[in-house]
Structure 1
């Protein structure tokens, strides 16, 4: 997994195993070590994380085999509508095109419209069951983009630069 971070914005992606690009974007390894510090993990419910991972990970592994994966794109609300997600998504699309590979993404329902606009096709919506602290189910949208249909997303913000 590789991480890209700017003020108000964070993204991470996974290359294919054996990709010639390993080390190109983050030469010091695969990011920081996993955090086991309870203070740093205070906002994560361990039960919820386990249910989420146990439900979604097998679906992602099956769906995204042989594809690069956009693991996460997060933009602070104060930076919405400025084109940050469009710029990084276009970068992911160009990278996939150069490497002649498809892309996969798992997103929240609010990201579905954005990724469909960028060319991703819906594979399925996965329902993650609720639990005591969060009784309602959570939904994750799985989308795929084949390299042959890769087209850059159009700008949606007022400033398409990062």
Structure 2
């Protein structure tokens, strides 16, 4: 049996977790300028935003080359107060006091990894017949998505191709600064060491702080300038008028954490 990292409070995700995962992702990625750049109508169509993340993680859980992890904590009754207003409908207080998902992480294994198909949740095939969520993309700006992909695809390909890749990392804001992001990333880095894999990442500046703590080295910083129409949409919310910035880094196997890594505001997001 192949060795697998064991991190307290972290486990493999299942398809039964998708609803909660999608809420965690939407709430966390809201704080990324990339979110606002690509989803200028997030206030009008929050259900579409949730559906988009549900579809993304549903596909990842069922892909043998991907691994999806969740971090759990005791749920707090006021977590809805820490998410953006349009999403509060999705954060019921009825689960307060129970153990639940507060963070999620996904990563793609390196090509030819011996772990391919070995880190999917037991019995996941029994759940595949469930209905897929409909994502109508009404929250997105197609032009912004196209611009973002055009600007970031070359550096991502240059630095991250043929590597194990940490794809997403998100922690619900209520549970930031409790170490959940660090535990999720530690699972990834420990598995990368076991698999002797270069581990790549493309992150927001906040996510880069987590990456620096565990030995990622900067390769390139990519900036996607906000579109002219975004200027008129800024309304004082954090990041509404910001450019999208992508930090790309790589961690060699066995790398030691950087002495410059900090934990401040580093819980989320990486995308």
- Specify the TM-score bucket, using the shorter chain as the normaliser: 0.7 to 0.9
Aligned-partner Cα distance in 1 for 2:228–2:68 = 32
Q: Which residue of 1 aligns with 2:135?
A: 37
Confirm or deny that 1:13 pairs with 2:107. Answer: yes
Measure how far apart 1:33 and its partner are.
10
Q: Deviations over 1:85-138 (max 9, x none)?
A: 111111111101001111111110112222112111111100123224435531
Structure number having the greater strand percentage: 1
Calculate the TM-score normalised by the size of structure 2. Answer: 0.50
Match for residue 207 of structure 2 among 111, 128, 147: 111
Question: Contact (CA 8 Å) 1:105, 1:143: kept in 2 or not?
Answer: yes
Match for residue 63 of structure 1 among 141, 145, 159: 159
Measure how far apart 1:65 and its partner are.
2.5
Unaligned runs of 5+ in 2: 1-65, 72-100, 232-241, 265-271
Aligned-partner Cα distance in 2 for 1:51–1:96 = 32
Q: Which runs of 4+ in 1 moved over 4 A?
A: 31-36
Calculate the TM-score normalised by the size of structure 1. Answer: 0.79
Question: Contact (CA 8 Å) 2:198, 2:253: kept in 1 or not?
Answer: yes
Match for residue 192 of structure 2 among 93, 96, 115: 96
Unaligned runs of 5+ in 1: 158-162
Match for residue 181 of structure 2 among 66, 76, 85: 85
Q: Which residue of 2 aligns with 1:160?
A: none
Structure number having the greater helix percentage: 2
Aligned-partner Cα distance in 2 for 1:121–1:34 = 38
